[in-house]
Amino acid sequence: MLRSLVSLLLIVLSKTLLAATISGKVTDVNGKPVSFANVYLENTTIGTTANAEGFYSLKVEAGSYKILFKSIGFKQIVRQVTISSASIELNVQLEQEVFSLNEVKVSANAEDPAYEVIRNAIKKRKAHLNEVNGYSCDVYIKGLQRLNGAPKKFLGVDVDQIGKEMGLDSNRRGILYLSESESKFNFQSPDKIREEMISSKVSGRSNGFSFNQSSDLMINLYENLVNLDQLSPRGLVSPISENALFYYRYRLTGTTTVGDLLINKIELIPRRKNDPVFRGFIYIIENSWRLYSADVLLTQDAQIRVLDSLTISQQYYPANNKVWMLASQKFSFNGSFLGFKFAGDYIGVYKNYDINPKFPKNFFTGEVLKVTKESNKKDSLYWAQARPVPLTSEEKTDYIRKDSIETLRKSPVYLDSIDRKSNKLKPLSLVLGGYTYRQRYKKQTWQFSPILLDNLQFNTVEGVNLTLRGSFRKNYESRQNYSIIPEIRYGFSNQHFNGNVQAYYHFDPVKSGSVSLKIGTEVVDFNNQGSMTPLFNTYNTLVYASNYMKLYERQFVTASFSRELANGVQFNAIVDYAKRLPLVNSNFYSFKPEPEHEFTANNPYYGLNNDPAFVKNQALTVTLGTIITFGSEYVTRPDGKFYVGSKWPKLALNYRGGLPVLNSDVDYHMVSARLYDSGIRLGLLGNVAYSVGAGKFLSSTSAWFMDYMQFKGNRVTFYEGSSSSVFRFLDYYGYSTQDYYLEGHAEHNFSGFFMNKIPLLRKLRLEEIVGANYLQTEKLNSHTELYLGLQRLLFRAEFGFSWMDGKSYQSAFRLSTSF
């Protein structure tokens, strides 16, 4: 045993002693740095990338090597070096690559030679896409985001003060986020991934975990359509896709020789300015028709969101004698929003490829990224040895400054000083934005809700009513937390107080485990799905004398429990005991003259008298439900589990029962199911969302209206909540059921497929919406709606048609917001 330990120690020491570093600077012939140049040992996948200032560092064992230096737009060079245990400095100058067209004769009417190259690349695209069934590699990612400008204040928030706390300068400029990570990345065709982050460093957060993720940087130009998630909901057409010739023009700007390879430099020119395509250059190897490198640009002309521009630079190299893989990748972006100007870079370096490895059975699960517990424990000495891309002077400064700021920010004295300044009460903020009182050192927060706009409302039951809500929250390092939320409400017409308090405990961040208890009294809608928001009900009541919302009072105690049972399976349970009391109208005021005869009674049947809607009763109800996310993908970190979505739909299964025990007056049992998906990508045609549900009361011996199955309806022109699950022309209460129902919703967002082709409208960045809704109950043979409209950010305008039991019912414009 001792001999083995000694042998192992000698091996480790010998490798350490023999290891050395080749470092230097890559510049052009004028001495300017060549940013992000690739540096590799020839005929290997061992290498690195220079930083923005041109500096590189490559660790090797003693020996003789050929070092290859390459960068887009420059001639590749090879340097022979012999290195012992001592590190050496090797500075190189790269000459601009000269792409010659001397041997290519192009007449005025002839097709550009680029088209022949592109057609050959398109023919080989699928073969290159599928030639690797899987691979593993080591990935280093460095992400940097900076703020280039911001207003001093935004919506009453002191941005200048926040900027100082984050280490920005007096002009609110500087690095917002700087992080490095090392991962082992695994891929299996067509779309299985598994990544393990073994080291992580975040500037200013010694205990933080990097959000860098290799799959976020997976841009494969061999795919017909390149997906960039939220940046481009329709995706972008690859310059070598099957239908690329319909979207691109090409120009051969020249050829050059690299070793025994002939490289074609081809300019990408969009056929139409606002098509979802790339601009820039791709470099294609003659005969094999592979991508050698790419330097492409996306602008708002390509209909990307959030950013003004995004530049993607890729370089490939031979991972073995047959396959070329990604060597490095860089994303550079900039944008602006509401006075905030930002920019940044993400660099990925890929090495040590294992092509077509034998993955163990069940190797790929829903866990797409695992961040190890020790990943953020690596010290500066480790990173100085491990990082393949040297830090720039700005990045070094940021690490030093943020580390010192972090030490200061953790001190009670500093945190108390920040709290004293931010905790000052401003009367106007209390009215419009609420008030927050923090004790950062103790990780405690008190919040008070604003008086306007949501909390000061009007309805015919209470007249003017005011709700005051507060909360206390305590956070722990483990990401466990608890909250206490009290609420009081007073109706000035019926002169009645309601109040309740809720205690909430998030006990298991990894399994999304929580419990809560709520007790008190409250005024609630008869429609348990919600008819309209109190703010919109206030507007319609005062302006049009239309008191659509119908309310009753509950004196209740509610306990709930939620926890993940297995990956993608979330279980919920609610037990509620309530005494339910009817309410009647007490205020008939409206801006309209003599509106009293227009108001309906406070019952879901729209009676014209003012009698109570029901007799008071007691109800003990139990609700059990589970949401199953098929193919759920998630990230596991030491501080919790984070879902990132699924390519498959979700299934919700529910049971709700009214139990005739403990003096409860209800006796019913209901089951329901819903299958839904919020976004199915259809490429350039946009996205589809759908929801299909059905339910049945197995028994209904005793049930009141609020126990029925309710539906999200609408009766007004302007409403809140423009989701596909809202009926545009259905009454809020009229078709609630205590028997059975079938419900369906579908909506297609074309994401500008048509509007982008209209010159005068494309700058508005409008998205076309087409949708349909369907409902069937025992009272309603069928209710069908079709609508089409336009959407911009959180607002949309629609025109819809509806049919009731096969007969034309209503057609009208609808305006909505998703605030």
Write down the H helix ranges in 387-496: 393-409, 412-422, 427-432
Residue 106's pLDDT is 53
Nearest to 312 by CA among 395, 262, 239: 239
Confidence (pTM): 0.84
Fold type of domain 17-94:
Immunoglobulin-like (2.60.40)
pLDDT exceeds cutoff 60 at 6: no
Question: In sequence order, which residues have a C-beta less than 8 Å from that of residue 360 and are 6 or more positions away?
Answer: none
Residue 765's pLDDT is 81
Tokens of 352: 């040590």
Residue 722's pLDDT is 65
pLDDT exceeds cutoff 80 at 159: no
d(CA 378, CA 384): 10
Nearest to 789 by CA among 779, 781, 799, 780: 799
Determine the length of the chain.
819
pLDDT digits (tens, 9 = 90+) for 71-127: 888 888 889 988 877 788 899 999 888 777 755 555 556 789 999 999 999 999 999
Burial of 110 (0-12, 13-18, 19+ CB in 10 A): exposed
d(CA 592, CA 585): 17
Residue 19's pLDDT is 63
Are the C-beta atoms of residues 399 and 387 closer than 8 Å to each other? no
Are the C-beta atoms of residues 303 and 234 closer than 8 Å to each other? yes
Most confident segment among 46-55, 351-360, 640-649, 695-704 = 695-704
328 strand-pairing partners: 315, 349
d(CA 319, CA 290): 13
pLDDT exceeds cutoff 60 at 423: yes
Residue 156's pLDDT is 62
pLDDT exceeds cutoff 80 at 255: yes
pLDDT-derived band of residue 17, with 50, 70 and 90 as boundaries?
very low
- In percent, how much of the chain has pLDDT > 70? 96
Phi, psi of 551 (to 5 degrees): -125, 155
pLDDT digits (tens, 9 = 90+) for 524-546: 999 988 888 899 999 999 999 99
d(CA 544, CA 22): 78
Tokens of 669: 């049992």
Residue 108's pLDDT is 55
pLDDT digits (tens, 9 = 90+) for 427-444: 777 777 788 898 888 899
d(CA 475, CA 480): 6
- In percent, how much of the chain has pLDDT > 90? 54
Helix (H, G, I), strand (E, B) or coil at 55: strand
252 strand-pairing partners: 266
- The pLDDT mean for the chain works out to 88
Nearest to 38 by CA among 269, 330, 340, 436: 330
686 or 697: which leads in pLDDT: 697
On the CB side of 754, how many CA atoms lie within 13 Å of its CA? 9
pLDDT-derived band of residue 14, with 50, 70 and 90 as boundaries?
very low
pLDDT exceeds cutoff 50 at 349: yes
pLDDT digits (tens, 9 = 90+) for 590-599: 998 876 667 8
Are the C-beta atoms of residues 59 and 104 closer than 8 Å to each other? no
Domain ranges of the chain: 17-94, 114-407, 416-452, 666-819
- Burial of 671-705, coded b for 16+ CB within 10 Å and e otherwise, reads ebebbbbeeebeebebbbbbbbbebebeebeebbb
pLDDT digits (tens, 9 = 90+) for 606-629: 888 888 999 999 999 999 999 999
Secondary element (H or E) of residue 82:
strand 77-83
Mean pLDDT value of segment 762-789: 92
Helix (H, G, I), strand (E, B) or coil at 382: helix
92 or 7: which leads in pLDDT: 92
461 or 644: which leads in pLDDT: 461
d(CA 523, CA 551): 6
Angle at alpha carbon of residue 527, lines to 521 and 530, rounded to 5°: 90
